[in-house]
């Protein structure tokens, strides 16, 4: 009798452990992304952008040039800009990370998004839908909270 109960408990424990891991593998970026994503034009000032980020309670915005996504600006970028002598009236194009905007598809597994962020040393990823539109933002904090559970 003891052997049967013991083996049943081991099976239940294994099922719980592997079941959780399996559910993580099935979880997609769209399940954890933040919406809406806020976008600002590259000619927006540092002050206006920081004010928007504070009002909306977000740590990043997508920077656009004539409506086309070209970069990202984060709370860390704001700190670096001020530390390096930027003025509140400087345009984002002079302080934001512009150029090769790294994005992910909303259907990507969160484990793959986490690996991409680790490999590229980035903390925020804009999320695109099937039509290529930016529909959300996922951060290291979002992913680590999911992977920790």
Residue 62 DSSP code: E
The structure's pTM equals 0.78
Q: Using one digit for the tens of pLDDT, what is the confidence trace for 51-82?
A: 999 999 999 999 999 989 999 999 999 999 99
Say what the pLDDT of residue 74 is: 93
pLDDT at 85 over 60: yes
pLDDT-derived band of residue 143, with 50, 70 and 90 as boundaries? confident
pLDDT at 110 over 70: yes
CATH topology of domain 27-148: CBS-domain (3.10.580)
Helices 75-83 and 46-56: crossing angle, nearest 10°?
A: 140
pLDDT-derived band of residue 97, with 50, 70 and 90 as boundaries? confident
Q: Where are the domains of the chain?
A: 27-148
CA distance 12 to 113: 30
Task: Pick 42 or 145 by higher pLDDT.
Answer: 42
Residues 104-132 have a mean pLDDT of 92
């Amino acid at each position: 009798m003891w052997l049967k109960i013991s083996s049943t408990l081991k099976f239940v424990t294994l099922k719980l452990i592997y079941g959780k891991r399996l559910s993580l593998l099935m979880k997609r970026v769209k399940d954890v992304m933040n919406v809406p994503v806020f976008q600002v034009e590259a000619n927006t000032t540092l002050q206006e952008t920081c004010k928007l980020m504070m009002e909306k309670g977000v740590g990043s915005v997508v920077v656009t040039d004539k409506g086309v996504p070209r970069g990202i600006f984060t709370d860390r970028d704001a700190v670096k800009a001020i530390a390096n002598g930027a003025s509140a009236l400087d345009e984002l194009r002079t302080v934001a990370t512009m150029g090769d905007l790294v994005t992910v598809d909303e259907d990507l597994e969160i484990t793959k998004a986490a690996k991409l962020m680790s490999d590229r040393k980035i903390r925020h990823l804009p999320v695109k839908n099937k039509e290529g539109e930016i529909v959300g933002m996922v951060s290291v904090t979002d992913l680590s909270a999911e992977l920790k559970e």
